[in-house]
Amino acid sequence: MTNEEMEMITVEIIAYAGDARSKYMESLAAANNADYDKAEKLILEGNDLITEAHNTQTKVLQMEASGEKIKVNFLTVHAQDHLMTVMLLRDLVKNFINLYKKTN
């Protein structure tokens, strides 16, 4: 894999994760306004984006597992960090939505 190909893959992961983050934050705002249907819809949209990011990440892992040398650089680390942080955000937002439902 060329450096440019790896860069494109990492940017793709960051983009999907970033879009998912936006959906989760919108979901939290909707729940804060007691619009739980919208909140749930946005969570599902974010989940779809996380799945896309994870699928892209899995391709790289499979390539490395099959023996291909994968060059890891700061952008690659950033992509992984971004994805994992957004997955944590998803879990926290879902818990906050449940709390909103209990208090409203």
Ordered DSSP codes for 43-91: HHHHHHHHHHHHHHHHHHHHHHHTT------HHHHHHHHHHHHHHHHHH
Q: Confirm whether 78 is a catalytic residue.
A: yes
Please tell me which residue in 38, 41, 78, 94 is annotated as part of the active site.
78
- Tell me which residue of 27, 65, 31 sits closest to 49, measured CA to CA: 27
Q: Judging by beta carbons within 10 Å of its beta carbon (0-12, 13-18, 19+), is residue 66 exposed, middle or buried?
A: exposed
Q: Residue written as tokens 């971004």?
A: 82
Active site residues: 78
